[in-house]
């Protein structure tokens, strides 16, 4: 069965500092991995996804994530935090085998930007 663990339910960084949000996954077959962002009282918006092409995936708003099979990780990074990055971030996994329709989400990491 697939699962996702997001380390740190709350992360605070200073404006201009590196953002690092951690995601580890468990999957019995090669996974597809996603990062979504949610602003208060809104739906989720896709930041980026890994679909077994390049292991370094670039997304919107300057975010990127690297798929590391040996570490079963898909951490999200941004070199320089901006105030507008304050939001909740969700990592999600689905499996590449036919017949698995479920997207499993982590419990989320709330990112706070300190001016």
Partner 1 sequence: DGGITQSPKYLFRKEGQNVTLSCEQNLNHDAMYWYRQDPGQGLRLIYYSQIVNDFQKGDIAEGYSVSREKKESFPLTVTSAQKNPTAFYLCASSSRSGGADTQYFGPGTRLTVL
The footprint of partner 1 (CB under 8 A) covers: 9, 32, 34, 36, 41-46, 49, 51, 90, 94, 96, 98-103, 105-108
Residue 85 CA to residue 78 CA, distance in Å, equals 10
Cβ closer to partner 1: 9 or 12?
9
Give the nearest distance from C-beta 113 to partner 1 in angstroms.
20
Give the nearest distance from C-beta 114 to partner 1 in angstroms.
22
CB–CB of 85/62 below 8 Å? no
Residue 40 CA to residue 86 CA, distance in Å, equals 10
Q: Cα dihedral sign for 58, 8, 14, 37? A: positive
Give the nearest distance from C-beta 1 to partner 1 in angstroms.
11
């Amino acid at each position: 069965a697939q699962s996702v663990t997001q380390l740190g339910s709350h992360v605070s960084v200073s404006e201009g500092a590196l953002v690092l949000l951690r995601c580890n996954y468990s999957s019995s077959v090669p996974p597809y991995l996603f990062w979504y962002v949610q602003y208060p009282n809104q739906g989720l918006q896709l930041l980026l996804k890994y679909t077994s092409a390049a292991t370094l995936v670039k997304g919107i708003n300057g975010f990127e994530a690297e798929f590391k099979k040996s570490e079963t990780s898909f951490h999200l990074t941004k070199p320089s935090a901006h105030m507008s990055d304050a939001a909740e971030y969700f990592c999600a996994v689905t499996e590449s085998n036919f017949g698995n329709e479920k997207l499993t989400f982590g419990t989320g990491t709330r990112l706070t930007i300190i001016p």
